[in-house]
Amino acid sequence: MRRTRLVPAAAGLLLCLATAGIAAAQELPRVRLVATGGTISNREGGRLTADDLVGLVPDVRRFARPESEQFSNTSSSELTLKQWLTLSRRLNELFSTDRALAGIVVTSGTDTLEELAYFLHLTVRDARPVVVVGSMRNPSTVGYEGAANLLEAFRVAASPGARGQGVLVVLNDEINSAREVTKTDALRLQTFQSRTTGMLGVVDSDRVVFYRSVVKRHTAASEFDVSKIAELPRVDVLLVYQDAPGDLIKAAVDLGARGLVVAAAGAGATSGTQAEGLSYAAGKGVTVVVTTRTGSGRVSGARRFGAAFVGGEDLAPIKARILLMLALATTKDPAEIQRMFLEY
């Protein structure tokens, strides 16, 4: 049997190619997955771990050097506000102690994904991207899209174009801002949309493409420091509907709500005896933010109720609640809170 021997030149070429391959892999951006659970990990017979999720997408190593850690493994609706604070502190810690880290991917259940993403958008104080991702189908379902969404989230987190864009939500090939995105359908894959403002960009096979930037304050420019917040104050959301009673508003105040968000009809209308309830709330020093239940459009300050009330601008009621909780953790001044709603 004849043996083939490599001449020194060929051996040297192979060594150079191998060394170049190792160097190229080391130059890929490092991206850390922080898993919290959700449908994306909810496999029949046991939830997938953070390591399991990374294992679903071997192609990720073409774009980034993945790392992983498990924060929690539950549905998004079971996460508490204390866990939100802990998660935000952890992401801030990762960025502050690891300057070479390119970005972070956070998995979440889709039911309250937009809320968690917006909270991180206001409290992770670094320009590097945080990408929140999930899936509508679980790993035991035919057509599970979680692996594809994860790959795209890693690609966005590794993309230089994502820097400075705040917290991003990536599903179904689309990139949306945490501030503007909302879940619009209970079941369809294309559920996450930014409606009137539109998506920020797309994740295509050849590259990550951004079409616009986020102009409101967020992340690195945020004034909200979770290291100084031990607990978020209670803020309740109340819906306006025909002939609605004001006693529900009074009950929320009497049970300890420090802030209220009203999902008003149109640009600020209430119904029934709700105006009496809101006056009661204002008299007790409770901050009231007025938003719209319509799904889009602005509610300006003092449009309906007077200077003691805060206009929620174009924030959805559930996101206005998040901003109001953070605002009340730092001030009770309605004018200061109105400034925050204008800037964020």
Is residue 229 within 8 A of residue 329, CB to CB? The reply is: yes
Cβ atoms of residues 72 and 37 within 8 Å: yes
Q: Which residues pair with 130 in a beta bridge?
A: 104, 167
Residue type, 199: M
39 is catalytic: yes
End-to-end CA distance of the chain: 75
Query: What does the alpha-carbon distance between residue 339 and residue 327 come to, in Å, rounded to a whole number?
Result: 10
Q: Are 249 and 277 in contact (CB under 8 A)?
A: yes
Q: Which of 58, 68, 3, 56 is nearest to 31 (CA)?
A: 68
CA–CA distances in Å: residue 101 to residues 25, 59, 267, 326, 339: 15, 20, 43, 27, 33
Residue of 49, 60, 55, 119 lying closest to 84 (CA atoms): 119
The residues, ordered by sequence, that sit 6+ positions from 344 with a Cβ below 8 Å of its Cβ are: 122, 179, 216, 217, 218, 222, 323
Residues 273-293: b if buried by 16+ CB within 10 A, e if exposed: bbeebbbbbbeeebbbbbbbe
Looking up tokens 């498990």, which residue turns up? 70
Q: Which one is catalytic: 19, 36, 39, 196?
A: 39
Residue 129 CA to its chain's centroid (Å):
11
State the Cα–Cα distance between residues 252 and 259, nearest whole angstrom.
9
Tell me the catalytic residues: 39
